[in-house]
Amino acid sequence: MQDSDSLKDYQQVRLLAIRSLFEIIEQSSEGTIIVDRDARIVWMNERYARRFGLDDASSAIGQPCESVIPGSLMREVVSNGRPILLDMLDTPKEPLVVMRLPVHDSSGKLIGAIGFALFDELRSLSPLLKRYASMQQELASTRSLLRARQAKYSFAQFIGTSAASLEVKRRARRGASSDSPVLLLGETGTGKELLAHAIHAASARAHKAFVSINSAAIPETLLEAEFFGTAPGAFTGAERKGRPGKLQIAEGGTLFLDEIGDMPLPLQSKLLRVLQEKEYEPVGSNQMIHSDVRIIAATSTDLQAAMARGEFRADLYYRLNVLPIQVPPLRERLDDLPALSEAILEELGSQHELEDPAQALLARHAWPGNIRELRNVLERATLLADQPRLSVGDVQAALGDLAPLQVQLPQLSYKQACADFERQLLENTLARCAGNVPEAARQLGLGRSTLYKKLLALGIKSH
What are the b/e assignments for 347-384, b being 16+ CB within 10 Å? eeebebebeeebbebbeebbbebbbebbbebbbbbbee
Distance separating alpha carbons of residues 192 and 304, to the nearest angstrom: 19
pLDDT band at 30 (very low <50, low <70, confident <90, very high): confident
Question: Is residue 238 over pLDDT 70?
Answer: no
Handedness of CA 319, 324, 327, 332 (dihedral sign): positive
Q: Which of 63-72, 128-137, 153-162 has the lowest mean pLDDT?
A: 128-137
pLDDT band at 406 (very low <50, low <70, confident <90, very high): very low
CB atoms within 10 A of CB 147: 9
Question: Is residue 405 over pLDDT 50?
Answer: no
Provide CATH 3.30.450.20 ranges for the chain. 2-121
Closest by CA to 26, choosing from 41, 51, 42, 46, is 46
Q: Which of 129-138, 293-302, 343-352 has the lowest mean pLDDT?
A: 129-138
Residue 399 has what pLDDT?
87
For residue 40, what is the DSSP state?
A: B
Handedness of CA 30, 34, 39, 41 (dihedral sign): negative
Residue 463 has what pLDDT?
58
Span 71-78, average pLDDT: 92
Residue 294 has what pLDDT?
94
pLDDT band at 404 (very low <50, low <70, confident <90, very high): very low
- DSSP result, 181-218: -EEEE--TTSSHHHHHHHHHHTSTTTTS-EEEEETTTS
Share of the chain above pLDDT 70, in %: 85
CATH 1.10.580.10 fits 2-121, yes or no: no
Q: Which of 20-24, 132-136, 181-185, 441-445 has the lowest mean pLDDT?
A: 132-136
User: For residue range 31-50, what is the model confidence (pLDDT) as tens digits?
Assistant: 889 999 999 999 998 888 88
Provide CATH 3.40.50.300 ranges for the chain. 155-232+243-328
pLDDT band at 293 (very low <50, low <70, confident <90, very high): very high
Q: What three-state secondary structure class fits 104?
A: strand
Q: Dihedral (C-alpha) 239, 241, 245, 247: value to the nearest 10 degrees?
A: 170
Q: What three-state secondary structure class fits 354?
A: strand
Closest by CA to 338, choosing from 162, 172, 164, is 162
User: For residue range 87-134, what is the model confidence (pLDDT) as tens digits?
Assistant: 888 777 777 888 899 998 888 899 999 998 876 655 555 665 566 666
Residue 134 has what pLDDT?
66
User: For residue range 245-265, what is the model confidence (pLDDT) as tens digits?
Assistant: 899 999 999 999 999 999 999
Out of 3.40.50.720, 2.60.40.10, 1.10.8.60, 1.10.3470.10, select the CATH number for domain 331-399.
1.10.8.60
Share of the chain above pLDDT 90, in %: 39
pLDDT band at 79 (very low <50, low <70, confident <90, very high): very high
Please provide the distance, in angstroms rounded to a whole number, between the alpha carbons at the two ends of the chain. Answer: 77
Distance separating alpha carbons of residues 359 and 390, to the nearest angstrom: 9
Out of 1.10.575, 1.20.1740, 3.40.1000, 1.10.10, select the CATH number for domain 414-458.
1.10.10
For residue 297, what is the DSSP state?
A: E
Provide CATH 1.10.10 ranges for the chain. 414-458
Span 332-356, average pLDDT: 91
Handedness of CA 146, 149, 155, 160 (dihedral sign): positive
pLDDT band at 407 (very low <50, low <70, confident <90, very high): very low
User: If you count them, how many residues does the chain have?
Assistant: 463
Question: Is residue 312 over pLDDT 90?
Answer: yes
Between 373 and 410, residue with greater pLDDT: 373
Residue 171 has what pLDDT?
93
Q: What three-state secondary structure class fits 262?
A: helix
- DSSP result, 360-409: HHHHTB--TTHHHHHHHHHHHHHHH-SSSEE-HHHHHHHHTTT--PBP--
pLDDT band at 239 (very low <50, low <70, confident <90, very high): low
Work out the mean pLDDT of the chain and round it to a whole number. Answer: 84
Residue 146 has what pLDDT?
52
pTM attached to this predicted model:
0.57
Question: Is residue 4 over pLDDT 50?
Answer: no
Between 423 and 205, residue with greater pLDDT: 205
Q: Which of 57-66, 99-108, 109-118, 452-461 has the lowest mean pLDDT?
A: 452-461
Residue type, 248: Q
Provide CATH 1.10.8.60 ranges for the chain. 331-399
Question: Is residue 236 over pLDDT 60?
Answer: no
Output 426-429 pairs: Cβ under 8 A, ≥24 positions apart: 426/451, 426/454, 426/455, 426/458, 426/460, 427/163, 427/460, 428/161, 428/162, 428/163, 428/335
Q: What CATH topology corresponds to 155-232+243-328?
A: Rossmann fold (3.40.50)
Closest by CA to 347, choosing from 379, 309, 307, is 379
User: For residue range 198-211, what is the model confidence (pLDDT) as tens digits?
Assistant: 999 999 999 899 99
